[in-house]
Structure 1
C-alpha cells in the first residue's frame, strides 16, 4: 500500500512487457516533497478531487496493478522513489495518507505486503 505516492512522480507511461517505462526515473522527488501546492495537487488528482496532469493520470491508471503486485513492474529507481515518497507523506502529511489508503486499499489487503516492501533494500 505504501507505494501510493510513488505514483505522484513517476509519470509512468504505457505498461511495458517487463517493467514500466523508465522515462521519468530521473525525476526530482524532493520538488514534490518540499512543495505543498504541488503535493496537494497530485494528491487531489489521485483522490478524484481535482484535475490531473497527463503524467499523473497515467500513473493513476497503473496504480491498482502496482499495488496488487508490490510494484513488480517498477524499475529499481521507481521503487526507491516510491519508498521515499511513501515514508515522507505518511510521516509529514498523515491526512493525505489516510485519504489515499482509504481510497486505494479500503479493505487493508495490501498493508502487510507494502510494509514488507518498504523494509527491502
Structure 2
C-alpha cells in the first residue's frame, strides 16, 4: 500500500433532514464521496452532522448505517462522525480538514502498514 494516495472526503449533512431521510442521504453522499478516482487510493471519510440531528439519530444509527457502507468498499480505511454546533459551513469543513491533516502528518505512516482489519466486524 506504499503507493496508495490518501484521499479525504467530507460529507456535510444538512440540519433540516429528518432521521428517516438521514439514512438515504448518507448512502447517496457516501457513494458520491467514494467514487473511484483510483483503486490504489486510501479513502478517509469524515461525516459532519449538526449536533441536534446527530443526537436524535443516535450512535447506534450511525454505527449500523456507516458500517454497512464501509463493508462495501475496501478502499475505505476510516469513517468518523463529528457533531457540529449550528449548520455545516465551509469554515467547519476547513477546520475538520486541518485536524485530519495534522493526524495524517503524525500518524499517516500507519496507513502503509498492513492491518488486521481492526474495527471491521
Provide the TM-score with structure 2 as the length reference.
Answer: 0.34
Query: Which structure has the larger Rg?
Result: 2
> 1 or 2 for the larger relative contact order (CA 8 Å, sep ≥6)?
1
TM-score, scaled relative to structure 1: 0.34
- Higher strand content, 1 or 2: 2
Say which structure is richer in helix.
Answer: 1
